[in-house]
């Protein structure tokens, strides 16, 4: 699967490595094979985060967050989505070392954008609070990704953590 053109932020932060495609909630690598590329899910997504990549529906979190409204699944004419719409992705956020708060610069943009309050900030002696992520509370919605000024949040498969 071809990767989309890198964003300016990815280029400037040195993050040009190809990442795996992120599918809409509940969609698996197996079920995405049923995607005809009709674009119905793209048209209905109120967050405008579903895009067609190589003829398949993928999610682009740089455009915003998933609200788990389920419109993409309701309109899909193929057997792509599970019978019961998923309310979380199969990944969770990971805060990396480039985080401003980790590097003694006050920033809590990710916390402020997290709808499930999975990102909290804990006191640190001699510096600003540091982020602590509750992976079980994180739905993987991507709200924190687009607001991070240093692009220091990525997603990690739940299978890596729990598998």
One digit per residue, the tens of pLDDT, for the chain of length 163 reads 334 445 555 555 555 444 578 999 999 999 999 999 999 999 999 999 999 999 999 999 999 999 999 999 998 999 999 999 999 999 999 999 999 999 999 999 999 999 999 999 999 998 899 999 999 999 999 999 989 999 999 999 876 544 4
- For the chain, domain boundaries: 8-75, 91-162
CB atoms within 10 A of CB 47: 19
d(CA 15, CA 17): 6
Tokens read off for 62: 């740089």
Query: How is domain 91-162 classified at the CATH fold level?
Result: Alpha-Beta Plaits (3.30.70)
pTM: 0.79
The answer as to CATH 3.30.1360 being correct for domain 8-75 is: no
d(CA 15, CA 127): 27
On whether the CB atoms of residues 55 and 35 are closer than 8 A, the answer is yes
Rg (the chain; Cα; Å): 17
């Amino acid at each position: 699967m071809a990767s989309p053109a890198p964003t300016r932020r990815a280029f400037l932060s040195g993050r040009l490595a190809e990442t795996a495609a992120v599918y809409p909630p509940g969609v698996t690598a197996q079920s995405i094979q049923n995607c005809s590329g009709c674009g119905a899910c793209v048209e209905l997504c109120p967050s405008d985060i579903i895009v067609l990549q190589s003829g398949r529906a993928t999610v682009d979190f740089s455009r915003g967050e998933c609200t788990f409204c389920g419109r993409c699944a309701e309109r899909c004419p193929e057997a792509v989505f599970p019978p019961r719409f998923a309310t979380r992705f199969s990944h969770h956020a990971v805060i990396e070392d480039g985080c401003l708060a980790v590097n003694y610069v006050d920033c809590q943009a990710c916390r402020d954008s997290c709808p499930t309050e999975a990102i909290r900030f804990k006191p640190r002696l001699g510096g600003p609070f540091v982020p602590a992520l509750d992976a079980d509370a994180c739905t993987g919605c991507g709200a924190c990704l687009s607001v991070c000024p240093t692009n220091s949040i990525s997603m990690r498969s739940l299978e890596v953590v729990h598998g």
